[in-house]
A and B are shown apart, each in its own frame.
Chain A
Amino acid sequence: MLEYFLSFLILTGAIFTFIGSLGLLRLKDLFTRLHGPTKATTLGVGCLLIASAVYFSTYTEAISLHEILITLFLFITAPISAHLLAKAALHLDLQSIAKIPENDEVEESGTDAAIIDDIKDSVKESNPASINDTPVPLDETDLQKKP
């Protein structure tokens, strides 16, 4: 009975990890692509780790709780790497399907002028007409072409 449950967890984990990777292929620009690996993967890896913890706690003598640490570090680091990638993409003026906001749209006062100017420049420089034509390059060689 337990084996069926563990198999189910492992399969679910594998499916979600696969969907997360599929997101990289199917989605159109860097920002939407970031969603796949940060989310679908957390549940995928979570399922695999639960299966691992239950298996080693049941079939070996010691209770296995390393997996809690892996989960913890994964949940802390995945959003941070996504945040840094998004930040880098904003600075590199990568094309985005979503409109990058300008200063006028901000309703609250006290925004940072320098960053807004940065974003404004990036909107001017990028060519909005071609956004939907080509997928945004994601590999390193394409990134290096940008200044």
Chain B
Amino acid sequence: MTRLLPHPILTPVLTVIWLLLNNSIDAGHIVLGLILGWAIPVLTIHFWPETVIIRKPLMLIKYTIVLLFDIIMANFTVARLILGNPDRLQPVFVKLPLDLNSDLAISLLANSITLTPGTLSAQLSEDCSYLLVHALNETDPKSLIATIKQRYEHPLKEIFESC
């Protein structure tokens, strides 16, 4: 089972991407997409040693909605900061200690941090114990860490890692 279907989630994702690329839902394209979705994970199994398990799909949908909302807010925040006086900005580096263990969850967290208000993930320590975050205008690093942990890291931990 694991050899024939190494990544059960990747297969439908690849199929949907194939259908989107072709912009059609013909039966032929669905079959071709399914074949590609099965063949690509089998052929590239050595690049993907970890099997992705989504423990709480509903939580993932909720997380995506929160993230999209935050991205839109981030755009307005950063636009305002750019148009304001740049000399008054207080950029700061913050170290965010990580509770996550899986690679996928950490990369998703780093991506989320970069896409959301005024923060940018700059560096991950080699043992994955903390993430160096650059904030564009932040006077209170402690509350920033608390917000990121509560808003993004906690849901990601629940989705991808057992509690």
Contacts and interface: CB of A to CB of B under 8 A. Distances in A.
Given A98-B134, A101-B95, 11 more contacts: A22-B83, A27-B86, A39-B71, A40-B78, A42-B75, A69-B17, A78-B114, A87-B122, A90-B122, A110-B127, A112-B125
B97 A108 contact: yes
Interface string A12-40: 00001001101100111101101110111
A98 B79 contact: no
Contacts of B114: 38, 78-79, 82-83
B130 A108 contact: yes
Contacts, number: 140
A75 to B, nearest CB: 7
A75 B78 CA distance: 17
Contact size range, A: 35 or more
Contacts of B123: 83, 86-87, 90, 115
A129 interface: no
A43 B71 contact: yes
B82 interface: yes
B79 to A, nearest CB: 5
Interface of A: 16, 19-20, 22-23, 26-29, 31-32, 34-36, 38-40, 42-44, 62-66, 68-69, 75-76, 78-80, 82-83, 86-87, 89-90, 96-101, 105-108, 110-112, 114-115
Task: Name which of A36, A83, A106 has the most chain B CB atoms within 10 A of its CB.
Answer: A83
Interface of B: 17, 20-21, 23-24, 71-72, 74-75, 78-79, 81-83, 86-87, 89, 91-95, 97, 110-111, 113-115, 118, 120-123, 125-127, 129-130, 132, 134-136
Contacts of A68: 20
A19 B23 contact: no
